[in-house]
């Protein structure tokens, strides 16, 4: 009887012990270990691209993608993107430093896409993602689009050289830009450049779940480079 009472008392007391502090979030870094394709990002993910090869973390749709001087670069990918294999949550902040190497601009990010698709033709009307384009169409427009970069529902700013409005200035060749795509509430996608908001798109049918849980970079013909990718779950 005493043994039974002692065991019961021990179980009760162990259940009353307060939990310790939560385990702090650990930042994962691309290249630190081989990625398991399809793993969900649950802590901050960083890729500084300081390596000679693209590596196993990415699904590469075109041989145009390559590493150069510690950056991920492409020229002439023809809307065949490179996708991060790890999945991103519904709400996340995606940050990257992007540089156009010509006056054509055309810095392009895809967010919440399927992680495997590219354009079937010359017009990218069959995307699976939100597409943020900074200096697209040879530095004519900044755009945030849903599934179709030419879609009627896209948000666009016409570029006007010499304007006082920072949001309508063209992309300068060789100048790094800090691009941010963010979704906090499950539906509204925000695109910002160098801390300035360019677009907020409130989607009535948000892209989320399987088939809409990857991030990637894209390019048409202009030479571009990306660096310092950071993805933070929100």
77 within a domain of the structure (yes/no): yes
DSSP state of 162: T
pLDDT at 28: 54
CA 223 – CA 106 distance, rounded (Å): 9
pLDDT at 122: 86
pLDDT at 162: 92
| 136-143: long-range pairs with CB below 8 Å, 24+ | 136/105, 136/106, 136/108, 137/106, 138/104, 138/105, 138/106, 138/222, 139/103, 139/104, 139/105, 139/106, 139/170, 139/171, 142/167, 142/168, 142/193, 142/198, 142/199
Give me the domain span that covers residue 148: 57-233
pLDDT at 3: 45
147 within a domain of the structure (yes/no): yes
Of residues 98, 195, 109, 198, the one with CA closest to residue 157: 198
The CATH number given to whatever domain includes residue 154 is: 2.60.120.560
Count structural domains, the chain: 1
52 within a domain of the structure (yes/no): no
99 within a domain of the structure (yes/no): yes
173 within a domain of the structure (yes/no): yes
Q: Which residues pair with 217 in a beta bridge?
A: 82, 109
156 within a domain of the structure (yes/no): yes
Q: What is the pLDDT of residues 84-130, one digit of tens each?
A: 999 999 999 999 999 999 999 999 999 999 999 999 998 899 999 99
Residue 152 neighbours by CB distance under 10 Å: 6
Query: For the whole model, what pTM was predicted?
Result: 0.84
172 within a domain of the structure (yes/no): yes
Regions of the chain where pLDDT drops below 50: 1-26, 31-36
33 within a domain of the structure (yes/no): no
pLDDT at 30: 58
């Amino acid at each position: 009887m005493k043994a039974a009472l002692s065991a019961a008392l021990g179980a009760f007391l162990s259940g009353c012990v307060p939990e310790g502090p939560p385990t702090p979030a650990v930042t994962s870094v691309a290249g630190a270990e081989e990625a398991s394709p399809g793993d969900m990002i649950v802590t901050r993910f960083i890729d500084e691209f300081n390596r000679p090869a693209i590596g196993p973390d990415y699904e590469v749709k075109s041989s145009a993608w390559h590493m150069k001087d510690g950056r991920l670069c492409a020229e002439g990918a023809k809307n065949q993107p490179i996708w991060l294999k790890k999945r991103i949550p519904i709400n996340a902040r995606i940050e990257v430093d992007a540089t156009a190497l010509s006056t054509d601009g055309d810095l392009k990010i895809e967010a919440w896409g399927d992680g495997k698709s590219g354009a079937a033709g010359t017009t990218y009307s069959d995307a699976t993602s939100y597409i943020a384009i900074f200096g697209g169409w040879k530095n004519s427009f900044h755009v945030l689009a849903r599934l179709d970069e030419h879609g009627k529902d896209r948000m666009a700013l016409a570029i006007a050289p010499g304007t006082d409005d920072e949001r309508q200035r063209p992309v300068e060749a060789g100048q790094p830009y800090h691009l941010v795509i963010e979704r906090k509430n499950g539906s509204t996608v925000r695109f910002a450049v160098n801390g300035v908001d360019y677009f907020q798109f409130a989607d009535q049918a948000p892209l989320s779940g399987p088939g809409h849980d990857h991030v990637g970079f894209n390019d048409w013909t202009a030479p571009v480079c990306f660096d310092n990718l950071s993805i933070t779950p929100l």
